[in-house]
Amino acid sequence: MSGFFNQIKQGVNSAARMVASSYVFSLKTLLLLKDLAVGGTTAENIPVRLREAFEELGATYIKLGQFIASAPSLFPQEIVTEMQKCLDSVRPLPFSEIQKTLKKELGRDYMSLFQSIDPVPMASASIAQVHSAVTKDGLDVVIKVQRPDIESALGADLNLLYLASKLFEIFVPGLNRSGLSEMVGMFQSSILEEIDFEKEAANIEEFETYLLGSGETRARVPKVYKDLSTRKILTMERFYGAPITDEISLRKYTSDPSKTLSDALEIWFSTLSKSGFFHADVHAGNLMILRDGSVGFIDFGIVGRISSKVWDGLMIFLEGLALNRTDRIASGLVRMDGTAQGVDEKKLAADLEKVFGQMSKMVLDIQMGELEAFDEQKMNAILFEFRDISNRNGLKIPKEFGLLIKQILYFDRYIKSFAPELDLIRDREKFIR
């Protein structure tokens, strides 16, 4: 019976969410008309009002705004530019709201499990809020707490977005070949995985299993406290250290920054080559240099898994990038798609020439020390062009390809900060044990 009432509640919440979304978008439309009445232009104000609506509607739409900002080949430039302002940092919830989730997930006497929980969050994002705490046994931990009702809101929003994308593909000329609904589907599966903290806990433990099994002591992941975790709460060991790009702290914790970075890259590459599993979000905030000099990998909400064929194709692709040969780039892409048949590699290589030149320039600029050359928007634009060209030539590039290339360029940028003598693309074999 409780399941029946939960379904009714979920249906009511979904309906209410759709009404709220309609209200916000209607309000922004009225504001657009007002802008036009006082002499403004609708074209100029649509991106601003759309971004405001996304921010008001919260998690799903903030993430969608970021997705739009990363997909310039699918959306108008003015909207892409405005959506770059959609930051995944929102006003913290009152601790009383966080306590409600803690009580629901861990029990009404949850405070018996802790000596203390800091009511001031360490971080606050659209999906979760993070608080530091001390367990009853005196262990320093961080508690990642999902925002209340985020799951039902996401469910309603994502269903609506997917339906809208299918309708657009039916009724808007040209969109039926754009893969818009496929992209929304990818966005949907990605964000739903991000709110399942049990999956994130399993990802952490999978990485740890590899480290332990290979006798790796140069890196660590935070211990997950399963008895203090649920699908909506993740309690982990608190790491003390600094982002791996913090030069002052890096030199405080290690006498050889170049080796520390090389170790981090070797561990990441080895995990990928031997198990097909990889941390897919190694930006500076998720890689730490710990007080004992080891590397800390944190935040496993986004991970990837690849087959041996994708790995082989990636190596050929990187060889082409290192040697400035589009024929090897094309061969690598063909190898990644195990279902590809009869692809004209010469034509594919010719089609890739322009976009390959853009990627080569970015890599070269990074290797010349111009660290700001790694621009997320430009990188995403390049990856979408790769995807479009591949599709036109009968290839289907695995979604993990884009994640892999981004992580490799992240590492390349870190290396150039402290170890300019290293060349990740050219010397990739050195990092694979």
Sequence-separated (6 or more) residues with CB below 8 Å from residue 200: 194, 234, 300, 301
Q: How far apart are CA 148 and CA 295, in angstroms?
A: 33
Q: With beta carbons less than 8 A apart as the criterion, state whether 302 and 280 touch.
A: yes
Q: Kindly give, in sequence order, each residue whose CB lies less than 8 Å from that of residue 383, ignoring residues fewer than 6 positions away.
A: 401, 402, 405, 406
Of residues 84, 51, 56, the one with CA closest to residue 380: 84
Residue from 281, 299, 351, 412 carrying the catalytic annotation: 281
First-to-final CA distance of the chain? 55
Does residue 351 have an active-site annotation?
no
d(CA 138, CA 96) in angstroms, rounded, equals 24
- Give the residue numbers annotated as catalytic, written as ranges: 281
